[in-house]
Structure 1
């Protein structure tokens, strides 16, 4: 059954490759990733270099299409890992196949696989790390080291995944794993993170993974901050909200009239912005919590909520591609000259695009109320004492909430939570519903 479903997922990816003539490039994230791959130095702002390392490996091909093809293979790999882990845990083939299906057929995942963005790599590394950690009832030293490295690489691909390393350590402690194995996981994860932070310090003068955590958290507080209650000291007062009112917290990072941006280079004030954000959260903890809960709940809306200036709202369909790149930007010309001379805007290709037009993947199958039901299924298993679902369920909740708590909600940022939520739901239902148990 799974091989048939996997083959269908592979065929759909071949159709996507034929229906679009190149990978989708987003301004400006895709170009900063490619620029880092060419010059191989850590960016000073948002993105660590983990994804750019993969782009560097693919640089000899000078092809955005090759990048997309590799990422489509990654998507198939995520589904295979989910299936193998659940079968290893005793689930029937149909149950394991059902849990892997969203990754194979959801247009949200397929669009990310076909874009020069880090999301697919993060999902693969997180699922691989959890698979290694959960493969046996007793975690071996080798598995602990491998899981630590994989989760560290996920964090170096996107910093929001870094705390998953701590979650894995806590999981081993709760399972009363021998302390040497727990320590091995922690060291295996912290060493790559520490080495990268040292590399970052050589280029930017501070021991960190990125230079934007404070700016992001400051933007998060702009939707509720009240300086009359925060009472910031004189050096932080200029960061208080001004008359600018925006639709989403993340837009405060980029709006030229936002208070932080009036001070000049926003990232030069990262530490200052962090201090303001921490004071705001401590002064208004309920307001902060309310903002996080309210925006996280958007993931469960029956109708997808649009977000200004983001990758797009998931609607289950493939859209026609056309348009151009910002040719006037020096970074576009630089990346075209140094990475791929044939870099161009993605366009639809006939007759394959017309075939893609016929494909429909309902939003309800991966988001909205069903996503809530999947999370509740995992939680229900935990409530019944099924501890096997603990790690993937906690990871799914973290991956869903952390981006909102750190900056803002976006349906794209919620996608990495779905595969591990499906694993948690399958494990939570296994052993609690008689018909879901593996046949003898």
Structure 2
């Protein structure tokens, strides 16, 4: 009795080989979860920063858009968590989200036929780098921002042909990322451009455009009700003005009298972003406060950039290059890069009325954070062997860029998103090691996919070729 050709099942060996890869990743995720439990034990509460953390919490309490830097996307999450009255619980949820980011990266790369070890390797920075874990333990928007962008990338690359449903999901997630941090808003345009280049059809394009723009329009209308202007924030002009303070030459620009008040006035600080807060800077000497002159600051900054485009480009390139140094460079001098788990105590600015209001209304146990022994000593000794030096980050970006050149270009989308997230904050305000972090998971995905760009895609065998090989295609039903 002869066996049927169908008895030979080619996919089964591949399925068996995938299991060890999943086991490896399961071990890695378990270790990453244990590290996060150790962080929860090693610090007695979540880290709160002035002014960012309290601005987010204040917006969550009053459910009104902030008129300065931060849109309300992260504050909505804080509002949902308000009934529990615990910033420690928020940190715990964010640690779970951090693990979820690693899982999404792994799932995406396995969907793209990468072996388990390679997909696992790409998740190591986001799962084990102290910089990511410390942000998860803080009342800051970074973890939510990264998760939304990685989720959008997963939806966008789930299949070779993007469906309208996945396009809408990607657009919605990018819109929510833009409402968490406005730097993500242009990513919707990059995603739409990707669909155009791939000739995805009008349905996915329309779905993404609607899902990506309607939340932004609705939020801008809500913002206009409270602040009188149709916008997502009230600081874009102030930030761009600060960017130009490192090179603006008003003898070249020749601004009109009203804008001339914003010219450099001799105040010198060690980073562009410091001009926003320097009390002697020209913008801060105008009556009404810095953000009251946001439109004037934007007009001045655009005029400066148009008059001195090469100087502007040189400043952006110079500051962006700080991301690729082997040893991290403090920028500004008072901001030291996060590369370890410190021990000590970090008190709150009790003199600010907002601290007391947030404590009363959101979490009565809000306090300054301190490390707890013996767990803090274990964290301080934690040797992160995969510490992503800036030079290695540059190698990842280079590899992803090379993988974006081939015929298939599988790395193009994550690489383009990573490059934009790296350069955009520098172009809009200044370099910050914290703002580099969202680009790292995307750079890891792009570098992992880069070798696939040099391989020809496997074509499905025809019925005649399958018959010659002794494999029968399943009949359609």
Question: Partner of 2:40 in structure 1?
Answer: 17
Question: Partner of 1:96 in structure 2?
Answer: 119
Question: Partner of 1:290 in structure 2?
Answer: 314
Q: Using the alignment, how far apart are the partners of 1:334 and 1:193 within structure 2? A: 30
Question: Partner of 1:314 in structure 2?
Answer: 338
1:128 aligns to 2:151 (yes or no): yes
1:431, CA displacement in angstroms? 5.3
1:350, CA displacement in angstroms? 1.2
1:179 aligns to 2:202 (yes or no): yes
Question: Partner of 1:326 in structure 2?
Answer: 349
Q: Using the alignment, how far apart are the partners of 1:52 and 1:17 within structure 2? A: 22
Are the equivalent residues in 2 in contact too, given 1:366–1:418 (CA < 8 A)? Answer: no
1:272 aligns to 2:261 (yes or no): no
- Change over 3 Å in CA distance of 1:74–1:312 after alignment to 2: farther
1:292, CA displacement in angstroms? 0.3
Are the equivalent residues in 1 in contact too, given 2:410–2:453 (CA < 8 A)? Answer: no
Question: Partner of 1:377 in structure 2?
Answer: 399
Question: Partner of 2:414 in structure 1?
Answer: 392
Q: How does 1:34-433 map to 2 (within 5 A)?
A: 34-264=57-287, 265-308=289-332, 312-315=336-339, 317-361=340-384, 365-430=387-452, 432=454
1:331, CA displacement in angstroms? 0.8
Q: Using the alignment, how far apart are the partners of 2:359 and 2:332 within structure 1? A: 28
- Change over 3 Å in CA distance of 1:392–1:7 after alignment to 2: same
1:267, CA displacement in angstroms? 0.5
Q: Using the alignment, how far apart are the partners of 2:93 and 2:310 within structure 1? A: 44
1:433, CA displacement in angstroms? 8.1
Q: Using the alignment, how far apart are the partners of 2:333 and 2:138 within structure 1? A: 16
Q: Using the alignment, how far apart are the partners of 2:60 and 2:427 within structure 1? A: 29
Give the secondary structure class of the aligned counterpart of 1:58: helix
TM, length-normalised to structure 1: 0.96
Are the equivalent residues in 1 in contact too, given 2:404–2:453 (CA < 8 A)? Answer: no
Output the aligned Cα RMSD: 1.3
Q: Using the alignment, how far apart are the partners of 1:278 and 1:86 within structure 2? A: 41
1:355, CA displacement in angstroms? 1.2
- Change over 3 Å in CA distance of 1:14–1:421 after alignment to 2: same
- Change over 3 Å in CA distance of 1:431–1:175 after alignment to 2: closer
Give the secondary structure class of the aligned counterpart of 1:95: helix
The structure having more radius of gyration, on CA atoms, is: 2
Q: Using the alignment, how far apart are the partners of 1:206 and 1:286 within structure 2? A: 32
Are the equivalent residues in 1 in contact too, given 2:219–2:232 (CA < 8 A)? Answer: yes
Q: Using the alignment, how far apart are the partners of 1:166 and 1:431 within structure 2? A: 24
1:61, CA displacement in angstroms? 1.1
1:357, CA displacement in angstroms? 1.6
- Change over 3 Å in CA distance of 1:321–1:430 after alignment to 2: farther
Are the equivalent residues in 2 in contact too, given 1:310–1:410 (CA < 8 A)? Answer: no
- Change over 3 Å in CA distance of 1:47–1:309 after alignment to 2: farther
Unaligned runs of 5+ in 2: 1-23, 457-477
Are the equivalent residues in 1 in contact too, given 2:406–2:453 (CA < 8 A)? Answer: no
Cα distance per residue 1:107-155 (max 9 Å; x no partner):
0000100000000000000000010010001111110111110000000
Are the equivalent residues in 2 in contact too, given 1:304–1:314 (CA < 8 A)? Answer: no
Cα distance per residue 1:187-210 (max 9 Å; x no partner):
111000000000000000000000
Are the equivalent residues in 2 in contact too, given 1:311–1:412 (CA < 8 A)? Answer: no
Are the equivalent residues in 2 in contact too, given 1:141–1:181 (CA < 8 A)? Answer: yes
Q: Using the alignment, how far apart are the partners of 1:258 and 1:165 within structure 2? A: 35
Are the equivalent residues in 1 in contact too, given 2:323–2:390 (CA < 8 A)? Answer: yes
1:229, CA displacement in angstroms? 0.6
- Change over 3 Å in CA distance of 1:191–1:26 after alignment to 2: same
1:308, CA displacement in angstroms? 3.0
Are the equivalent residues in 2 in contact too, given 1:386–1:428 (CA < 8 A)? Answer: no
TM, length-normalised to structure 2: 0.89
Give the secondary structure class of the aligned counterpart of 1:277: helix
Q: Using the alignment, how far apart are the partners of 2:75 and 2:205 within structure 1? A: 30
Cα distance per residue 1:14-38 (max 9 Å; x no partner):
0000000111000010001001111
